[in-house]
Amino acid sequence: MTTLRLPRDLYPGSALDEALGVFAEHGTFERKDEPSHWVVHITARSPERERRVAGELGNYALGLTVKGRKRS
């Protein structure tokens, strides 16, 4: 299992929610949010795939965050 921790100050929850929806079919995701971070436990069929899914999920959430700031 790979854990992705995104700080709430830098990533809006809506961006993570949308990213999780997009990547739903690429692994199993379990959210256990903390006061300061969004925490996602990722399970995939191999550690290398978990690393890739976690990285792409983080990138996607970052991209949505940046686009959201440009719109506002």
Partner 1 sequence: MDPQGFPGELVSVDLGASSATIRVDPATYPLDALYGAAYIFIDRCFVLLDKPDASYRVTLAWKKREATEDDLRALVGEFANELLSCAWRAKISEDSRALIESVTAQALGGAMGPPTLDELEKFDFSDETFEDPLGIAMSWEEKHRKKARPDDANPVDGDNVTDRKP
Q: Footprint of partner 1 on this chain (CB under 8 A)?
A: 5-7, 9-11, 52, 54-56, 58-59, 62-63, 65-66, 69
CA distance 58 to 72: 21
Per-residue HEC secondary structure of 1-50 comes to: CEEEEEECCCCCHHHHHHHHHHCHHHCEEEECCCCCEEEEEEECCCHHHH
Quick one: 3 or 28, whose CB is closer to partner 1?
3
Nearer to partner 1 by Cβ, of 5 and 45: the residue is: 5
Nearer to partner 1 by C-beta: 22 or 66?
A: 66
Q: In angstroms, what is the minimal distance from the CB of 33 to partner 1?
A: 16
